[in-house]
Amino acid sequence: MLDATALDTVFRNARTHRAWDGRPVADTTLHEIYELMKWGPTTSNTCPARFVFAKSPEAKERLRPALDAGNVVQTMSAPVTAIIAFDLEFYEKMPKLSPNKNARGWFVNEPEESLRTTALRNGSLQGAYFIIAARALGLDCGPMSGFDNAKVDAAFFAGTRVRSNFLCNLGYGDPSKLGPRAPRLSFDEACSIV
C-alpha cells in the first residue's frame, strides 16, 4: 500500500502544468518512465503504445505546425513533449509479448477498425500509466489533445502504421502559474454499485 504522500504525488496534488521552471529532463529519466509504465496491463499483453520524446529544438519545430494556437507556448517551452501513439501493427510483436499463445493470429486478419479500437484503447491505458510513472518520478505533466493528428503522423510516423493519440509535455512545472484547481465529480455523481 502506498502511503498518503505517494498518493498525493501521483494523484491528489498532481496538476496539469502549462508553464515550466526551465530545468531539463534527463534522458535517463525518460528511460525510467518507460521501464515503470511498461508493466501496466493491456489486452492479451498487446502493448500497442509507442512513444516519441520530442526534446531537441529541431523535433519541437517539426511539432509546432500541428499544435493548436493555445498550446504552442507551453509545448515549445516544455523540456520534453512526449507523443503518445499506438501501432496498428501491434500484433507483429505478439510472438514476443505472448509467446505461449498464437495471439498474433487473433489480430492479423482483423479489419483496421477493429485493430484501431484495440490499439487506441490499450495505447490510451498505457498513456495513463505513462503519466502516473512520470509523476511518481517527480515530473509534472501537461497532457493535451489540442493538435492536428494527421500533421503529427506525417511529421513523425510517415510510412508506418503508427498513429498519434495525445501529447504530454514533461518537465518541472512552475506552480506559481497554476490557477485554481477544477472540481471533480463525487462518487455518487460518477459511480454506482450494483
- Taking only the tens place, the pLDDT of each residue in 27-70 is 999 999 999 999 999 999 999 999 999 999 999 999 999 999 99
* Total domains, the chain: 1
pLDDT of residue 180: 93
Give the pLDDT band of residue 103 (cuts 50, 70, 90). Answer: confident
pLDDT of residue 145: 95
Position 22 in a domain: yes
The 3-state DSSP class for residue 169 equals strand
Give the pLDDT band of residue 6 (cuts 50, 70, 90). Answer: very high
Position 110 in a domain: yes
Position 183 in a domain: no
Provide mean pLDDT across the span 160-176: 97
* C-beta pairs of 120-125 under 8 Å, 24+ apart in sequence: 120/86, 120/165, 121/43, 122/42, 122/43, 122/46, 122/47, 122/48, 122/49, 122/86, 122/90, 123/48, 123/49, 123/50, 123/84, 123/85, 123/86, 123/87, 123/165, 124/165, 124/166, 125/40, 125/41, 125/42
pLDDT of residue 118: 96
Which CATH number goes with the domain that contains 146?
A: 3.40.109.10
pLDDT of residue 100: 85
Which region among 1-15, 61-75, 82-96, 102-116 has the lowest average model confidence (pLDDT)?
A: 102-116
Position 180 in a domain: no
Position 154 in a domain: yes
The 3-state DSSP class for residue 101 equals coil
Give the pLDDT band of residue 102 (cuts 50, 70, 90). Answer: confident
Position 191 in a domain: no
pLDDT of residue 36: 98
The 3-state DSSP class for residue 157 equals coil
Provide mean pLDDT across the span 96-113: 89
What is the average pLDDT value for the chain, to the nearest integer?
96
pLDDT in tens, 77-100: 999 999 999 999 999 999 999 988
Provide mean pLDDT across the span 156-172: 98
pLDDT of residue 35: 98
48 Cβ contact list (under 8 Å, min separation 6): 42, 86, 87, 88, 90, 118, 119, 122, 123, 126
Percent of the chain beyond pLDDT 70? Answer: 100
Position 185 in a domain: no
Position 159 in a domain: yes
Q: Specify the pTM.
A: 0.95
70 Cβ contact list (under 8 Å, min separation 6): 146
Q: Which structural domain range is residue 146 located in?
A: 4-173
